[in-house]
């Protein structure tokens, strides 16, 4: 079901659009959490450390291709908001080619570089083989992730945030079943968890494709729509490549931190992996609101309804601040329980690491949440260069604090890397949004339609 977000009250539209995204993001995150919990409980601390050691690397790769598909969908949403069905079909058809080519190149390059990546991360010898298996198999699933994320992004561009939710729910259940089956019955070890995720994603994406093309006439492409349109492709790449790089740059900073963490041993690796999963849970509502703002701002920008974008930002910021404060309180009060959920052997050292990290990062959940609102709003109007710059700021702040103070504060410097990155990026994005909001009318009038 498509939704025209250029009409109606912004707060109501954003809440209605974002709650399926919130549930869907939690379910999608359940893929990673299911791997962590099942691997930790069934295979032990070394296996959990191996999965955690490559998590930031997988985020870099998947973040890039996710940014590509999301950037392609921005053009689709703008054409939908402008009431241009032919432009919508051309954007989708061209986007298939753009996403597929980039996914193929990225997958090949990453799969050939598994060993150098693990050595760069200072992966300990006792978990190197396990991390290699998990990372190599995860890279092979990159085209499948693109396959599904492209469909999800396209549906969101048309105002449909509910359909992907149902397929994510099915994929999540299948993933858990296959995790247990591949690890316990087929004895596939840590690689079985990666194969389970790949299989579940493929089944969900294929089912979604078959159903959506029957239900939505907007996505029934004609033969001419499948022909790549160079001008459309350039417009998509102009938005999508900075978005992909922004996700990747953020992940690169996390990789540098992971390399530093890996030098402190398995206990630090396992404890910080568990704590980072708590952080991921805490920011899911701002992530969903940010995704809603990307579609909302793109459709309204295409329709020339610029005042509605500002109203949507105000509503999203209010919800984000309130929810982030609440999540900070929950993380500080019940962090030990969340950390323990990922561990079979709940040693005092690992639990202490997780607790200490949360006490440093949780008070900064508000700036973390604001990043998603302002970044997605700017990307929705097609201004993805400044969000990419904010990603560089995140990386520099994270690396500067974590590595610059490593010899002074020890592992505590790594804990403080994330809060420094969040504050720096949030300030830049808020200033950029404020500056751009005065220029939108002039840019909108001068910008040709793709």
| Tens digits of pLDDT across the chain (450 residues) | 677 888 888 888 888 888 888 887 777 666 666 667 777 777 777 777 777 777 777 877 888 888 888 888 888 888 888 888 888 888 888 988 998 898 899 889 888 888 888 887 777 777 788 888 888 888 888 898 888 888 888 888 888 888 888 887 888 888 888 888 888 888 887 888 888 888 988 888 888 888 777 777 777 777 777 888 888 888 888 888 888 887 777 667 666 666 667 667 667 777 777 777 778 778 888 988 988 998 898 888 888 888 888 899 999 999 999 999 999 998 888 877 777 776 655 667 777 777 888 888 889 999 999 999 999 899 888 887 888 888 888 888 887 887 777 777 777 787 888 898 899 999 999 998 888 776 655 554 444 444
**Whether the predicted model's global pTM rises above the 0.85 cut:** no
pLDDT computed for residue 345 by the predictor: 58
| Region for 417 from its dihedrals, namely left if φ exceeds 0, alpha if ψ lies in -120 to 50, beta otherwise | alpha
Identify the CA nearest to 52 among candidates 31, 32, 27.
Answer: 32
pLDDT computed for residue 323 by the predictor: 92
Distance in angstroms (rounded) separating the CA atoms of residues 106 and 58? 12
The DSSP call for residue 168 is: H
Identify the CA nearest to 406 among candidates 255, 253, 249, 257.
Answer: 257
pLDDT computed for residue 447 by the predictor: 47
pLDDT computed for residue 316 by the predictor: 93
Alpha helices in 341-364, H assignment, sequence order: 348-361
pLDDT computed for residue 35 by the predictor: 67
pLDDT computed for residue 369 by the predictor: 92
pLDDT computed for residue 446 by the predictor: 40
Q: Residue 427: CB partners within 8 Å, gap ≥ 6?
A: 367
257 contacts 417 by C-beta, under 8 angstroms? yes
C-alpha separations of 167 from 31, 143, 163, 212 in Å: 13, 17, 7, 11
**Can you read off the two tokens belonging to residue 286?**
């701002």
What is the gyration radius of the CA atoms in the chain, in angstroms? 21
Residue 343 DSSP SS3: coil
Q: Tell me the DSSP string of 292-321.
A: HHHHHHHHHHHHT-HHHHHHHHHHHHHHHH
97 contacts 281 by C-beta, under 8 angstroms? no
CA angle 383, 102, 151 (to 5 degrees): 75
Is 196 exposed, middle or buried, given 0-12, 13-18 or 19+ CB atoms closer than 10 A? Answer: buried
* E strand intervals along 90-210: none
In angstroms, how far is CA 278 from the centroid of its own chain? 15
pLDDT computed for residue 209 by the predictor: 81
**Can you read off the two tokens belonging to residue 149?**
């994320």
**Can you read off the two tokens belonging to residue 395?**
């990386």
């Amino acid at each position: 079901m498509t939704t025209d977000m250029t009409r109606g009250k912004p707060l109501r539209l954003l809440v209605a659009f974002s709650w399926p995204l919130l549930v869907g993001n939690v379910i999608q995150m359940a893929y990673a959490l299911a791997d962590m919990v099942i691997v930790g409980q069934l295979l032990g601390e070394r296996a959990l450390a191996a999965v955690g050691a490559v998590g930031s690397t997988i985020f870099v790769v998947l973040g890039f291709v996710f940014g590509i598909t999301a950037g392609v969908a921005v053009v689709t949403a703008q054409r939908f908001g402008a009431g241009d069905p032919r432009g919508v079909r051309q954007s989708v058809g061209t986007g298939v080619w753009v996403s597929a080519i980039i996914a193929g190149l990225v997958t090949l390059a990453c799969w050939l570089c598994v060993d150098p990546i693990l050595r760069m991360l200072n992966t300990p010898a006792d978990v190197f083989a396990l991390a290699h298996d998990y990372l190599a198999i995860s890279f092979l699933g990159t085209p499948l992730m693109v396959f599904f994320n492209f469909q999800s992004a396209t549906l969101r561009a048309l105002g449909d945030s509910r359909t992907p939710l149902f397929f994510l729910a099915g994929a999540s259940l299948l993933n858990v079943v296959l995790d247990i089956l591949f690890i316990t019955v087929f004895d596939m070890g840590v690689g079985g968890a990666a194969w389970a995720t790949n299989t579940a994603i493929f089944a969900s994406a294929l089912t979604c494709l078959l159903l959506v093309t029957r239900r939505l006439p907007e996505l029934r492409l004609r033969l001419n729509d499948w022909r790549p349109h160079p001008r459309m492709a350039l417009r998509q790449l102009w938005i999508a490549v900075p978005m992909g790089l922004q996700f990747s740059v953020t992940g690169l900073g996390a990789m540098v931190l992971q390399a530093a963490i890996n030098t402190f041993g398995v206990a630090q690796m396992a404890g910080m992996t568990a704590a980072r999963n708590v952080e991921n849970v805490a920011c899911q509502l701002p992530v969903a609101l940010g995704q809603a703002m990307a579609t909302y701002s793109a459709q309204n920008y295409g329709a020339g309804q610029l005042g509605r974008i500002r109203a949507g930002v105000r509503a999203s910021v209010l919800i984000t601040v309130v929810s982030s404060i609440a999540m900070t309180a929950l993380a500080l009060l019940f962090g030990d329980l969340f950390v323990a959920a990922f561990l079979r052997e709940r040693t005092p050292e690992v639990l202490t690491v997780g607790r200490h990290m949360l006490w440093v990062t949780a008070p900064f959940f508000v700036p973390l949440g604001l990043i998603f609102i302002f970044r997605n709003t700017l990307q929705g109007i097609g201004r993805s260069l400044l969000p990419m710059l904010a990603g560089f700021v995140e990386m520099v702040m994270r690396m500067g604090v974590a590595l610059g103070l490593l010899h002074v504060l020890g592992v505590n410097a790594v804990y403080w890397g994330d809060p420094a990155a969040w504050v720096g990026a949030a300030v830049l994005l808020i200033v950029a949004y404020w500056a751009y909001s005065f220029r939108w009318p002039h840019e909108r009038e001068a910008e040709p339609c793709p």
